[in-house]
Amino acid sequence: MTNMTSTSPSSPASQREMTIRGLILGALITVVFTASNIYLGLKIGLTVASSIPAAVISMSVLRMMGGATILENNLVQTQASAAGTLSCVFISFPCLVMIGYWQHFPYLETMLLSMAGGMTGVLFTVPLRRAMVTHSSLPYPEGVAAAEILKAGSETGDPDSLKALLTGGLVSAVVTLATGGLRLLADGAAMTATWGGAIFRASTGFSLALLGAGYLVGIAGGIAMLLGAIIAWGVAVPVLTTILPNPSHLAPADFATALWAQKVRFLGAGTISIAAVWTLAVLARPVAAGIRDMLRAGAAIGDAGDDRDLAPRTLGLLAGVLLLVLFGLFIVFQMPAATNGHAIVTAALAAVAFCALFGFLVAAACGYMAGIVGSSSSPLSGIAIIATVMIASFLLLLEGLGLLPAEMAANNHHLAIAFALFLLSAIVASTAISNDNLQDLKTGQLVGASPWRQQAALLVGCASGAIVIPPVLELLYQAYGFVGAMPRPGMDASHALAAPQPALLVTLTTGIFLHHLDWTMILLGVGLGIALIATDLLLRRRGGALPPLAVGIGLYLPPAVSVTLAIGAVLGWACTRQPQGGRSTHAETGAGTMLASGFIVGESLTGVLLAAIAGATGRDDTLSILPAEAGMMPALLGFGVFVAICIWFGRSIRRG
C-alpha cells in the first residue's frame, strides 16, 4: 500500500497551525468534555470520543473569528481529544475513596498523577509514530473519519452541526435540571414481579445522556448490553432468588438487587475478563509484528522536512521530569501510613520502573489496537483489569521478598491495596492517551499537519484536562457518592453514581490480596464469556456481531443503564439504516451524532453544576419543588417527556 505523505495539496505548509487562539479554544473544549466524560463514565461506565464534536466546534468558532485553516482546526481537535481519553482515570481514582484510603480527592496528587501519567503516554508513542502511522497500512478508522470531517468542514462548512450540538445540549440540560434539581421528573421507572420463589425486575432510565450514548455505541453494542441485562435480571437473579434464602427478610426488590450486587456482578466480571483476554489474544500477533517492524525500521528512518517529532533532547528532559514527579507522588502517597524511609523509597522506585516498562509495552499494544479497531473500540477496561492483576501480583512478590514497607501487609493489606490502585491510575492515564495519540497523528498525516506540533498540543491537552479532573471528581463524590463507597451524612444513596469499573477493580484487587474472590460466579462468567465469544465468531461470518465484552458490561451495569442505552442504539439503527441494509454514511457526522453528543454534554455539565450546588449547601434536594406526596406523577411525567424527546430525536435524525 502506498503511504500518504505528510503534506497535501489542500493544506500547504504555509497555513498557520499552532496559534494562541487555537490553544485557548482547545483548552476550553478539553475542560468541558473532560468534565462531561468523567460524569458519564461514573454513571454508566462509558465515555465518548470527543474528537469529532471538538472538530465541529473548532471549525464553527474559528470560522466566525476568521482566517481559520484546516491545520489549526486539526490541532484544536488533537488537543481536545485528551478529554475523551485522560478522563478515563475515572476507572481508578474513585477506588481509593471506595476502600476508605482517601476521604476526598486531594487536588495536587490527583492532578499531578493524571497529568504525569497522560504525558508519559504521549512520550511512549513518539518513537512508534513512523512505524505505526507513517510507514504502516493500519486503517485507523477514527483518525481517517476525523480527517474527512476536517476536510469537508474546511471546504463546505456546516453551521447546522454546531446548532444541533447546542440544541441537544440545551434540551438535555433542561431535562436534567427538572430531574435532578427540581425533582419534577423521575429519572427512571422499575417494576418487580414474583413467580413462586423467583423474583423478576425490569427497569429503564429516562436519561438523555444514555440515549445519546446508545446512539453513538451502535446497534451491535446496544443489543449486546441489553442481552447482558436480560441474562442478569431475567435468568440469573430469578434463579438465585429461588435457591438462596432471604435471611434478612428484605422486600423482593431489595433482595433481588442485593443478589445482583453480591453475586451476579461477579458473573459479569468473569465475562468481562475472558472477553478482554480474548480481544487481546486476537490482536497479539499483529501487535507483536508491528512492534517488531518498528524496532527494525525505526533506526533507519530519518527526519524529512516537517515530518518530525519532538526533539530527542526535549523528550529526554520531559521524560526525566515526569519520572521524578511520579517518584515523588509514590513517596508522598505512602507517607501517611508507612514509616520505614528506605522501604518507602524502594516501593516508589519499583512503581516508577513498572510505569516505565509496562507502560511502554501497553502503549505499543494500545496504539496498534487503536490502529486496527479504533480508539473507542479498544478494550481499555479489559487492559485495566489485566494491569490490576499484574500490579497486585507484582506487589505481592515484592512483599514476599521483604522490599515493601511492613505496613503494606498490615490491616488486611490496606496500604498495599491502595498503593496498587494508585499505581494503576498512572497506568490508566498513560494507556488512555497512548490509545488515542496515534489515531490523532494519523488524522494529522492525512491533512498535512506537523507531528511535533500535534504532540505538543496533546501535552497541553493533558495539562488542561488534568487541572479539571480533581474538582469534578470531588464535586460528584460529595454530591452523589459512589455505589460501594461509604455515603456521607444526608446523602441520598438512591442517587449514587454506579461507578461500575471502579467497583470491579476494587473487588479484584481486594480479592487478590485477601484471597476471597467469588470464584464460583467468576468461573460461571468465564464459561458464559466463552459461549458468547463462539456466538460472536459465528455471527461475524454471517455479517452480524454480538460483542462479548458489551454483554459482560450489560451484566455488570444497573439494568436501567443497559436498557436506555439499547433504546438509543435501536432508535439510531432504525432511523439511519438504508433500504438495502446497512447504516447511512451520513449517520457518522450528521445531526444524530451532534444531537447525541449534545445530550451527553448537556446532562453531564448540568449534573456537575447540580453537584456544585449540593456540595455548597450540603443537601442534594436544595432545588426540589415537588411535594413528597406527589406519588407516581414524576414517573409519569418523566416517561412522557422521554418518549416525546425520543420521537423528536428520531425525526431530527431522519431530516439530518
DSSP 99-154: TTS-SS--HHHHHHHHHHHHHHHHHHHGGGHIIIIIT-----HHHHHHHHHHHHHH
- State the Cα–Cα distance between residues 487 and 100, nearest whole angstrom: 11
Least confident of 158-162, 446-450, 525-529, 584-588: 584-588
pLDDT the model gives residue 142: 66
pLDDT (mean) for 185-197: 86
Band of pLDDT at residue 304, cut at 50, 70 and 90: very low
Phi, psi (degrees; rounded to nearest 5) at 225: -70, -35
- On the question of pLDDT at 9 being above 60, the answer is no
Band of pLDDT at residue 395, cut at 50, 70 and 90: confident
Q: Based on the number of CB atoms within 10 Å of its own CB, is 638 exposed (0-12), middle (13-18) or buried (19 or more)? A: buried
Give the three cell numbers for residue 201: 425486575
Residue tagged 435501536 (cell numbers): 570
- In a 13 Å sphere around the CA of 589, the CA atoms on its Cβ side amount to 22
205, 165 Cβ separation under 8 angstroms: no
pLDDT the model gives residue 2: 35
pLDDT the model gives residue 348: 92
Of residues 441 and 297, the one with the higher pLDDT is 441
pLDDT the model gives residue 6: 38
pLDDT (mean) for 530-541: 92
- On the question of pLDDT at 91 being above 80, the answer is yes
Of residues 379 and 3, the one with the higher pLDDT is 379
Task: Indicate the average pLDDT of the chain.
Answer: 80
Classified as helix, coil or strand, 487 is: coil
pLDDT (mean) for 588-596: 72
pLDDT (mean) for 8-15: 46
- On the question of pLDDT at 5 being above 50, the answer is no
Verdict on whether the full-model pTM lies above 0.85: no
- On the question of pLDDT at 279 being above 50, the answer is yes
Nearest to 134 by CA among 143, 142, 121: 143
- On the question of pLDDT at 554 being above 90, the answer is no
pLDDT the model gives residue 154: 62
Question: If you average pLDDT over each of 126-130, 333-337, 434-438, 556-560, which comes out highest?
Answer: 333-337
Least confident of 40-54, 328-342, 584-598, 609-623: 584-598
150, 309 Cβ separation under 8 angstroms: no
| Residues paired with residue 199 on neighbouring β-strands, in sequence order | 194
Band of pLDDT at residue 147, cut at 50, 70 and 90: confident
pLDDT the model gives residue 610: 79
| Residues paired with residue 193 on neighbouring β-strands, in sequence order | 200
pLDDT the model gives residue 70: 85
Least confident of 62-66, 254-258, 294-298, 431-435: 294-298
pLDDT the model gives residue 584: 47
pLDDT the model gives residue 84: 65
- State the Cα–Cα distance between residues 566 and 205, nearest whole angstrom: 11
Least confident of 61-65, 69-73, 290-294: 290-294
Band of pLDDT at residue 162, cut at 50, 70 and 90: low
pLDDT the model gives residue 640: 94
AA identity, residue 117: G
pLDDT the model gives residue 300: 44
pLDDT the model gives residue 481: 82
- State the Cα–Cα distance between residues 279 and 234, nearest whole angstrom: 27
Of residues 437 and 422, the one with the higher pLDDT is 422
Nearest to 438 by CA among 100, 97, 123, 180: 123
Least confident of 143-147, 164-168, 382-386, 588-592: 588-592
pLDDT the model gives residue 493: 65
Band of pLDDT at residue 27, cut at 50, 70 and 90: confident
Of residues 147 and 466, the one with the higher pLDDT is 466
- On the question of pLDDT at 587 being above 50, the answer is no
Q: Which residues contact 104 (CB under 8 A, 6 or more apart)?
A: 97, 474, 477, 478
511, 99 Cβ separation under 8 angstroms: no
pLDDT (mean) for 639-643: 94
Give the CA distances from residue 225 to residues 90, 124, 238, 482, in Å, rounded to whole numbers and listed in that order: 21, 33, 19, 22
pLDDT the model gives residue 570: 92
pLDDT the model gives residue 586: 42
- State the Cα–Cα distance between residues 435 and 379, nearest whole angstrom: 10
Of residues 293 and 353, the one with the higher pLDDT is 353
- On the question of pLDDT at 153 being above 80, the answer is no
pLDDT (mean) for 67-95: 82
Residue tagged 406526596 (cell numbers): 629
478, 488 Cβ separation under 8 angstroms: yes
Q: pLDDT tens digits for 237-252?
A: 999 999 988 877 788 8
- On the question of pLDDT at 503 being above 80, the answer is yes
pLDDT the model gives residue 618: 63
- Angle (nearest 5°) at CA 170 between 564 and 652: 65
Classified as helix, coil or strand, 507 is: helix
- On the question of pLDDT at 375 being above 70, the answer is no
- State the Cα–Cα distance between residues 107 and 609, nearest whole angstrom: 19
- State the Cα–Cα distance between residues 187 and 480, nearest whole angstrom: 14
pLDDT the model gives residue 275: 80
Helix %, strand %, coil % for the chain, to 5? 75, 5, 20
Classified as helix, coil or strand, 302 is: coil
Least confident of 13-27, 84-98, 336-350: 13-27
pLDDT the model gives residue 175: 93
Give the three cell numbers for residue 604: 453531564
- State the Cα–Cα distance between residues 491 and 459, nearest whole angstrom: 38
What are the start-end ranges of the H helices in 542-629? 548-556, 559-576, 591-617
| Kind plus residue range of the DSSP H or E element containing 201 | strand 198-205
Phi, psi (degrees; rounded to nearest 5) at 190: -140, 155
pLDDT (mean) for 287-295: 56
What share of the chain in percent tops pLDDT 90?
Answer: 18
Instruction: To the nearest 10°, report the CA torsion of 143, 596, 157, 63.
Output: -90
Nearest to 232 by CA among 558, 534, 546: 558
pLDDT (mean) for 12-31: 76
pLDDT the model gives residue 293: 56
pLDDT the model gives residue 371: 65
- On the question of pLDDT at 491 being above 70, the answer is no
pLDDT the model gives residue 137: 64
Determine the angle formed by the axes of helices 500-514 and 265-297, rounding to 10 degrees: 90
pLDDT the model gives residue 126: 80
